[in-house]
Structure 1
Amino acid sequence: MSEEHGFSTRAIHAGPPADPAYNAVTPPIYATSTYSQDGVGGTKGGYEYSRSGNPTRTVLEECLASLEGGRHGLAFASGLAAEDAVLRAFTGPDGHAVVPHDAYGGTYRLFARVYEPWGLGVTPVDLTDLEAVEAAIVPEKTTIVWVETPTNPLLSVADIAGIADVAHAAGALLVVDNTFASPYLQQPLALGADVVVHSTTKYIGGHSDVVGGALVVDDDALADKLRFHQNAMGAVAGPFDAWLTLRGLRTLAVRMERHSDNAQRVAEFLEGHPAVAEVIYPGLESHAGHVLATKQMRRFGGMVSFRVKGGEDEAVAVCGRTKVIILGESLGGVESLIEHPGRMTHASVAGTRLEVPADLVRISVGIEDAEDLIADLDQALRG
C-alpha cells in the first residue's frame, strides 16, 4: 500500500495480503504457537514460533507503521510492555532520562519504581519549556527524552520538533507517547521523533475490549534493537488481541473525527458552566498550547479535563453522578468515561512531583450524541 494513499485507505488496506490462502477480506486469526518447517533451520513462510512472529500480528504491525509514517511497527501485550522494551533497549543503570512533569501515572511508576532502583536517573521537567528540557539533560548520560503530548491528564502540549532538536543535539533519542492523539491526529516521526509509543488499548483499539501496546520507528538499527528485546522479553500481542486491535484501527479516522467534534462541544459547554473553575482542552483558545496544537495536530482529540469548584469532594461527587458517562478508568473507547485522576489512574503519583490537582476530573469523550453528554454533565455538576 503506497504512502500516497490516504490515511483511511491505508488503515484498511496496509500490510501484507490478509489471507493469501483463501483471499478472505478480513485477516484470519492465526491461533498457532508454532509452524511446520521445510527443513532443520528453515521456514516455509518466515515464521517459526509465535513469540517471534505471527501473521496476524504482522498485519497489525505493518499497518501501524504505515499510519505513523515509519517503516517498522512492533506490537506488544500492553502499552507499558512497549515502554519497558524501549527502556531496556536504550537505557542502563548508569544512564539518565528526561520525562514529563505531568506524565501518565503508570509511565512514571515504571520509571521511578522499576528503573530508578535499577540505577537509571530520572528528571521530570515541564516539556513546554524548551530551556528547562535542555537544562535537564545530563551530558553524555541522558539517552532518552520522553514526551507525552497531549499529556495525561493535564493535556499539556509539547513542541515535538523543538524538543527533537534539543534531544538530538545532546545525542539522546526522542520518544513520543502518541496515545492521546493517535496517528490520525499527530505524526511525531515527521516532526523529528525517533520512537513513537502507543497504548493501543485506547484510541487505536477503540472499543474497550483489548489491551495492547505498540512501537513505531523509521530507523533500521533502532528497529533491530527493539525487535530483539520484543522477542527476548516476550511481552508480545497474541493473535486474537492483534486481530481486535486491527479491527479497531480500520475505523480510527472516522472515530477520531467524532471524538474531536464531541470533545470540542463538551469543552465549550464546561467553559461556561458556573460549577467549573477551569477547563483544559487544546481546542480552546484559553489553552496555553492551543496555537502549537493547531500546528502539529490535525484535530484536538477526545480528552477533556476540568477542575471543579468545591474541591476534591465535589470532584469525586461529580464523577459519581453521571448517568450516560461511565465512571471508569482507561480512555479512547466509543463510550464516554469519567474519572477522578487523583484517586484513580494517577494514584501512583500521589505525594510526588507529579501529583495531580485534587479537584481535577478527566473525561474520555466518546462518540455518543453530544447533546446527551452535555445534559449528563450539566445534571452531574448541578448535583
Structure 2
Amino acid sequence: MAMEDREQEREPLTESMQARETQVPLENPDDTGSSNSSNEDTTTEEMPTSPSLRGQARSQSRDEVEHLLLDPGAQRFPALTEDYNDLPTYPLRPSYKEYHFQLRPASRPVVFDGCPEDPHKPASVPIYQTATFQQPSSSEFGSYDYTRSGNPTRTALEKQVAMLEFAHAAFAFTTGMSALNCVTRLLKPGDCILLTEDIYGGMHRLVSRVTAMANVNVVFIPTWDLDAVEKAFHEHPNIRILHMETPSNPLMRITDIRAVADICHANGCLLTVDSTMMSPHLQQPLNHGADIVIHSMTKFFGGHSDTMGGVVAVATEELAKQISFFQNAEGTGLGPFDCWLFLRGIKTLAIRVERAQENAHAIAAFLKRQSVVKKLYYAGLEPRQDTMKLNEQAAKDFKIHMGQARGGGSVISFTTGSTTLSRCIVDSLHLYKLTVSFGSCNSLVEMPAYLSHASIPAEERTLPEDLIRLSIGIEDVNDLIDDLQKALLIATGKKLNEEPPLRKGLNLEAKKLMKNMTKPEAPSVHSHIKFKATPSRSMKKKKVKKLDVTEDLISLNIDKNHFKLAIAFITGVACSVAILSMKK
C-alpha cells in the first residue's frame, strides 16, 4: 500500500482533541466504538505513557492523566521506593504511535507547541539552560531533577520527533553515533546482530571494533535480498537485532522495510532502521513495521552543519524503558541549547528537504547523460521504459522505495571508472564543499572510501574507491549544474595528466581567464557567449576525437569586465583547432 494511502486512512482529530493538538494521546481509530471503549481501566491502559507514572496512570481517570500531561509540573514521584531505577527520568508524556494528523506533511514540522504548560505562552520553546531542578520536598521528586536525566527543552524536541515519526517515544542523544551505540546496548553476550552490507562507516567501526568486544556476533548481509535475510536466520542463532539503512549510504541500496520486518518478527528479532538519508518528512519506517528508527540529527534536522545530535524513536513501551535507562545511565542525553537549535531547524525541515530533493533530481538527470559517469546511484530516478527489461532490479527497487518514501532524497553517488579522475572532479568543484556528512543547506561532496567510510578496512569495503558522493543543497540548481559541468570539463582534460586538446596553444591571458571562470564570482551583469567549434575540411575527413563534455555546445558566462580576455580565449581555441587539423 502506498504511503499516501496509509495516511488517508488516519481519521481526523476529534473536536475535543483539536484544542490540545500534540499534547494529548489519542486512541487507536481501529478501537473506536469497541466494547472496551467504555471501560475506564482499559481506556487508560490504551493511553501509552512512555516509561513514566504507569502505575499512577492506572489508578487515575483519563481527565486526571490528561491534566498531568498538560502540566508536567504537577507530577510527583515518591523518593522512597524499592528500586530507584524504576523512577522515570522525565515526566509523563503522550505516545504518538497512533497519532491522528490533521495537517499535511509540510505543516507538521512547523505547527507544534513544545511547552503548553508555560503560562507565558512563548512562540519559541525556551532554553532551560540549567543543570539541576529544585525538588518539592524531601520525600518527593518533581518532573525533573537533573538535566542528564531530563530537561524541558529536550522533552519538547523528543515529543516533536516522536510525533513526526509516529513513535511511542523518542530520545535525543549527543551525536548520531551515541544514538546508534545506545541501540546496541540492547544486545547481550552471545547475541547476534545482522547488518546491511552497505552501511555507514562509523556504524561498521562501532559494531566490529566495540560491540564485538562484548561477545556479540556481528554479521553483514545484503538486506535487499530477502532470500539472503531468510538464510541468515537459519545459519546464525540468537539473532536479536537486524539493523539496516534504506536507502543505504552511499550506494543507495533499497530494502523492503515491511518484508524484512515480517521476517524479523517471525524470528523474534527487532528491526532497527537508520533513516538519516530520508528524514521523517520523506520516510517513516515505524509505519512499515520497524521497531526502532535512528537519525543523525546533525544532517537534515539541523540542516545548517552547526550542531550535532542523534535521536532514537521506538514503537513500544518496553523499548522506551530500555533506551531511556541507557541514555540516563551513560549520560548521553542532548544538552538544552543543542535541543533548541534542532527545534529551530525542524521548523524549516520540509521546505529544505523538498527543495534539495528537487535539485537532486535535476542533477541526477544531468549526470545520467554524462559519458564520464559510469554508474549512477540515486533512489529517486525512475528507470526508463526501454531499459527496464535490461535492469529489472532497478525498476523493482524504484517501486519498493516509492512505496515506502515520498521521494529519492538529496544524496547522489556516482563512479567514473578511475580514482584519479574522481579525485580531479572533486578537487575542481567550487560550490560543493569538500567535507563529510550530508543534509546541509549547502551542497557537499566527498569520496566515501577516503572520508566517511575510510574507517572500514579496504578488504571489507563494498563500495568502489572511485565513488563520489554528492549531498545536494538548496542553492539555485543551475549554479550547481554549471559547477559540475566545469569540473567535468577540467577533470577530463587532466585524465591522462595532460592538457585537454582545446587548452593546447592558448595564450597566457586565455589560460588565466579559464582559471578565473572556475571560481564563483559576485553577481553582475553577464554576457552569454556561446560558440561551437567548426571543424576544417581536413578535420571532417579525419575523425577528431571530441573533448568529453556534456554537450557539443560549450556555454560560458563571461563578465563584461573580462570581455577582452574572452576574445583572447576564443581566438586561442580557434588556433588550437587549426593546429590539431594540420597535425592530423
Task: Give the alignment partner of residue 32 of structure 1, picking from 107, 127, 130.
Answer: 130
Match of 1:290 in 2: 398
TM-score by length of 2: 0.64
Q: Are residue 135 (structure 1) and residue 231 (structure 2) matched?
A: yes
Distance 2:311 2:338 in 1: 12
Summarize the alignment of residues 1-383 of structure 1 with structure 2, pairs less than 5 Å apart. 1-2=21-22, 3-6=100-103, 7-14=105-112, 16-17=114-115, 20-44=118-142, 46-88=143-185, 90-137=186-233, 140-286=237-383, 287=394, 289-309=397-417, 311-383=418-490
RMSD: 1.4
Distance 1:24 1:153 in 2: 41
1:320 offset after TM fit, Å? 1.0
- Is the partner of 1:92 in helix, strand or coil? coil
Match of 2:473, as an amino acid? Answer: G
Distance 1:41 1:176 in 2: 42
In 2, are the aligned partners of 1:306 and 1:362 still within 8 Å (CA)? yes
1:300 offset after TM fit, Å? 1.0
Q: Residues 41, 31 of structure 1: CA spacing in aligned structure 2 closer, same or farther, 3 A cutoff? A: farther
In 2, are the aligned partners of 1:103 and 1:354 still within 8 Å (CA)? no
1:81-117 C-alpha deviation (Å, 9 max, x unpaired) = 01111111x2122110110101000011101011112
TM-score by length of 1: 0.96
- Is the partner of 1:98 in helix, strand or coil? strand
Match of 2:62 in 1: none
Corresponding residue pairs, total = 380
In 1, are the aligned partners of 2:381 and 2:408 still within 8 Å (CA)? no
Larger radius of gyration: 2
Runs of 4+ in 1 over 6 A off after TM superposition: none
Distance 2:312 2:413 in 1: 27
In 2, are the aligned partners of 1:346 and 1:356 still within 8 Å (CA)? no
1:134 offset after TM fit, Å? 1.5
Distance 2:380 2:344 in 1: 28
Q: Identical aligned pairs, as a percentage?
A: 39
In 2, are the aligned partners of 1:19 and 1:28 still within 8 Å (CA)? no
Gaps of 5+ in 2: 1-20, 23-99, 384-393, 491-584
1:364 offset after TM fit, Å? 0.5
In 1, are the aligned partners of 2:295 and 2:312 still within 8 Å (CA)? yes
- Is the partner of 2:290 in helix, strand or coil? coil
1:41 offset after TM fit, Å? 4.3
1:11 offset after TM fit, Å? 1.6
Distance 2:211 2:459 in 1: 16
1:9-38 C-alpha deviation (Å, 9 max, x unpaired) = 332233542670422101111100000111
Match of 1:103, as an amino acid? Answer: I
In 1, are the aligned partners of 2:114 and 2:157 still within 8 Å (CA)? no
Distance 2:139 2:405 in 1: 47
Distance 1:76 1:135 in 2: 34
Match of 2:120, as an amino acid? Answer: Y
Distance 1:124 1:38 in 2: 51
Distance 2:102 2:296 in 1: 25
- Is the partner of 1:276 in helix, strand or coil? coil
Gaps of 5+ in 1: none
